[in-house]
Amino acid sequence: MAAIPPTGPPAEEVGSTVRRATGVLGVALGLALVLTSCGDGKGSGGGAGGGAKSEVIAIAADPLDYINPLNENGSPGIQVAQAVFAPLVATDPNTGKTVNVMADSVTPDKTSQTWTIKLKPGNTFQNGQALTAKDYVDSWNLTAQGSTAWKNNGFFSKVEGYDAMNPPTPDGATPKPTSVKTLSGLKQLDDLTFSVKLKVPFSQFGLTLQYLGLAPLPEEVRKNPDAYKRKPIGNGAFKLDGAWNPGDDIKLVKWDGYKGPNAPEADAITFRFIPNADTAYNEFLAGNVDFVDVPPTKIKTFKTDAPDGWVTATSSGANYLTMPAWDPRYKNPKLRHAFSMAIDRKAFADLVGLATPSNGLVSPDMDGYRPDACKYCNFDPTAAKQLLAEAGGFSGAVNINYNTTSATGQIFAEAIGNMLRQNLGLTVKYTGKQGSEITQLADTRKLDGLRFSGWGHDYPSIEDYLTPMFKSNGDANFSGYNSPELDKVLAQGDAEPNPEKAIKLYQHAEDIALEDMPLIPLYAKQNAYLHSAKIMPRVSKYTGVQALYSTFK
């Protein structure tokens, strides 16, 4: 296992749609975080089997079909990968600083465009093969090749030479193999050192290396990845215990060969996949698993359901009301500010439960978060009405889309709708749809009206909120927002090697986004988890709640 897995609670499944970026590194990292927090748990009564220090972690998701971190950006898969593979660097749960795991050093050049990564000597894969720079370079080249069709391909789009390996293909067509098989920006310098040259300077690149989706594969797996998709050979603290077939629990035992820092205390870990979150929760109450996420429907009752066994993590995520940039009726920033100021965030956060009202676009536990960032987030119906009048009012009904698969979707939508209706005198209607349908409509810019969205960072930087959601081609630009000025400021931040100066630039970008307000900040949510009496999950302000790193009683 990685000594310090990336942290962070997952994006919330809020009333409507929460989406992580897909493809690009942002997404991947986010997922890693999510997995971490969700995955760990072992049942007190459960069949972890074997050693004294064993735990059963419930994952509320469909069973995995394979284990391959490079082809995995969903939280369940990353969570499992986190046990079997180790990342280059990780976030220290005590200090929030980035610490080395497989890497010995990560060094940028003066412009943050070329990064040199040196590995610690002596690490091996679980098949005995020594871990070298070549394993990273070749694994990354394999993933960056569009025709491999692995999910973390997008991570490498920042690396020089990516475009040559990923020529544009028509939508839906399978990418064809290219004659170029390697990223020109990726160079092996010696056995333990390699360098990455990016297309443009990116000061946060070092942080992104904690993503589990960049784990190396050994040579025998690289030769025939399909043959190993159900018997992974990792470099982490755990290995598969016997054979594993999709649909079964994933049983892992400690691998003695792991020499990285901060090995988890557990001797054996079982991941049990339970597709329905409420069922998983009930399995915990029945004593069959040791760790489970509290689903949104149980937020008000989990403390009485498991009075001695719950933990909460400070939020690593934020939730928004998303404006449709493609509908001219919602264009005027004054109208958006009016909507924002008509919302009583305090009461809404109380309704959500375990949430704090947002006053900015980034998660409150981020370096660079400013509690007073938003000038238009105070609840002031009178000022809101006046702003709406200045914006020329609103014609027609405001439609609020909510996710029907979430038990609370409709309730949250009605709460927002009531405030807009009563405080601004607007007509409000509601449309319930499947979350995936809402996302698809929004992606094709056909969605009518507002919807909920959420975002959790993939690596601990406020840049990972601003770039995905507000950059004109961001992976998670839910609102279709486009501001050349903001793009320019973000690029300046990316090129700024001094972390403090970079944060100032990113904060400036946040201010621009708040003036235009494509997303209205709503709340930041804490995640809650239940754990059995025999374990205590690791809880950190920086890395969230991680069952993988539980201590045992």
- Distances in whole angstroms, Cα of residue 47 to Cα of each of 239, 250, 508, 528, 541: 18, 12, 52, 24, 31
| 438 touching other proteins, by CB under 8 A | no
| 417 touching other proteins, by CB under 8 A | yes
| 430 touching other proteins, by CB under 8 A | yes
| 407 touching other proteins, by CB under 8 A | yes
- One-letter amino acid for residue 37 of the chain: S
Q: What is the C-alpha separation between 538 and 398, in angstroms, rounded?
A: 44
Q: What is the C-alpha separation between 540 and 276, in angstroms, rounded?
A: 27
List of residues 6+ apart from 180 with CB closer than 8 A = 161, 164, 165
For residue 288, count CB atoms less than 10 angstroms from its CB and return exposed for 0-12, middle for 13-18, buried for 19 or more. buried
Q: 260-319: which residues touch other proteins (CB under 8 A)?
A: 297, 300-301
The torsion angles phi and psi of 278, rounded to 5 degrees, stand at -70, -35
| 347 touching other proteins, by CB under 8 A | yes
Which range, of 77-85, 370-378, 428-436, 446-454, touches other proteins by CB under 8 A? 428-436
Among 344, 365, 487, 494, binds other proteins (CB under 8 A): 344
Minimal distance, residue 319 CB to other proteins, in Å: 16
| 426 touching other proteins, by CB under 8 A | no
Q: 377-406: which residues touch other proteins (CB under 8 A)?
A: 404
Pick 126 or 399: Cβ nearer other proteins: 399
Minimal distance, residue 305 CB to other proteins, in Å: 10
Among 178, 276, 418, 472, binds other proteins (CB under 8 A): 418
Count of residues binding other proteins (CB under 8 A)?
27
Minimal distance, residue 414 CB to other proteins, in Å: 5
Asked if 235 and 216 count as a contact pair (C-beta separation under 8 A), the reply is yes
Minimal distance, residue 307 CB to other proteins, in Å: 14
The torsion angles phi and psi of 130, rounded to 5 degrees, stand at -70, 145
- List beta partners, residue 313: 527
| 415 touching other proteins, by CB under 8 A | yes
Nearest CA among 493, 20, 459 for reference residue 208:
459
Asked if 439 and 358 count as a contact pair (C-beta separation under 8 A), the reply is no
- Distances in whole angstroms, Cα of residue 534 to Cα of each of 43, 286, 551, 552, 553: 9, 15, 8, 6, 5
Residue with the two structure tokens 């971190």: 69
Among 32, 48, 338, 428, binds other proteins (CB under 8 A): 428
Residue with the two structure tokens 């898969």: 77
Minimal distance, residue 369 CB to other proteins, in Å: 26
- List beta partners, residue 105: 118
| 364 touching other proteins, by CB under 8 A | no
For the chain, give the number of residues. Answer: 553
Among 302, 339, 348, 376, binds other proteins (CB under 8 A): 348
Which range, of 259-267, 342-350, 440-448, 541-549, touches other proteins by CB under 8 A? 342-350
Nearest CA among 199, 539, 225, 523 for reference residue 361:
523
Pick 66 or 430: Cβ nearer other proteins: 430
Sign of the alpha-carbon dihedral angle for 389, 391, 394, 399? negative
| 441 touching other proteins, by CB under 8 A | no
Among 419, 476, 490, 520, binds other proteins (CB under 8 A): 419
Asked if 137 and 214 count as a contact pair (C-beta separation under 8 A), the reply is no
Q: Could you give the angle at the alpha carbon of 460 between the alpha carbons of 456 and 462, nearest 5°?
A: 75
Minimal distance, residue 439 CB to other proteins, in Å: 17
Asked if 362 and 462 count as a contact pair (C-beta separation under 8 A), the reply is yes
Give Rg (Cα) of the chain: 23
Minimal distance, residue 257 CB to other proteins, in Å: 48
| 24 touching other proteins, by CB under 8 A | no
Pick 304 or 473: Cβ nearer other proteins: 304
Which range, of 11-19, 111-119, 208-216, 417-425, touches other proteins by CB under 8 A? 417-425
Pick 325 or 351: Cβ nearer other proteins: 351
Minimal distance, residue 297 CB to other proteins, in Å: 5
Look up residue 155 and give its DSSP letter. Answer: G
List of residues 6+ apart from 422 with CB closer than 8 A = none
Pick 184 or 301: Cβ nearer other proteins: 301
Which range, of 59-67, 221-229, 347-355, 363-371, touches other proteins by CB under 8 A? 347-355
Minimal distance, residue 514 CB to other proteins, in Å: 23
Rule CB under 8 A: which residues touch other proteins? 297, 300-301, 344, 346-348, 350-351, 404, 407-408, 410-411, 413-415, 417-419, 421-422, 428-432
